[in-house]
Amino acid sequence: MSRIDPIPVTLISDPRKLVPLDGGTALIRLPANTGHGHADGDVCVACSGITDVRALLYNLLEEHRRNMRPAFSRVVVDASAVADLQQVVAALTGKLPAQALRDHTVARMFYLAG
């Protein structure tokens, strides 16, 4: 079995500093956790599907595996709308406990590059 190199993830917190994207880059935009009656940062099952960076990274892998998206060699995460950027950093650096097997896959396949 061949070894797959981990994929770098660049975290952007200022939308004015979005890095140039090329054909090998996947973009994830994390929305603010608001819109249906709770404050930013509150735990919400409905919001977690669109704000959990580990779930979104895993989905990128699965979409590629199923030929639903082209191959990518890096990921840019636009987290400029997120109130608590440290939660995103913690998720990407293994500081949050794994919630599912997918989190272990993400930890092996991606690393925070900047």
For 36-77, what is each residue's pLDDT tens digit? 566 655 666 566 555 688 889 999 999 999 999 999 999 999
Residue 96 in this model has a pLDDT that exceeds 70: yes
Of 52, 69, 56, the C-alpha closest to 109 is: 56
**pTM assigned to the model:** 0.81
Strands 25-29 and 110-112: unpaired
Higher pLDDT, 74 or 35: 74
Proportion of the chain in helix, strand, coil states, percent, rounded to 5? 35, 15, 50
Contact indicator for 79, 88 with CB cutoff of 8 Å:
yes
Determine the Cα–Cα distance for residues 69 and 65; give it in Å rounded to an integer. Answer: 8
Contact indicator for 53, 30 with CB cutoff of 8 Å:
yes
In the chain, domain spans: 7-104
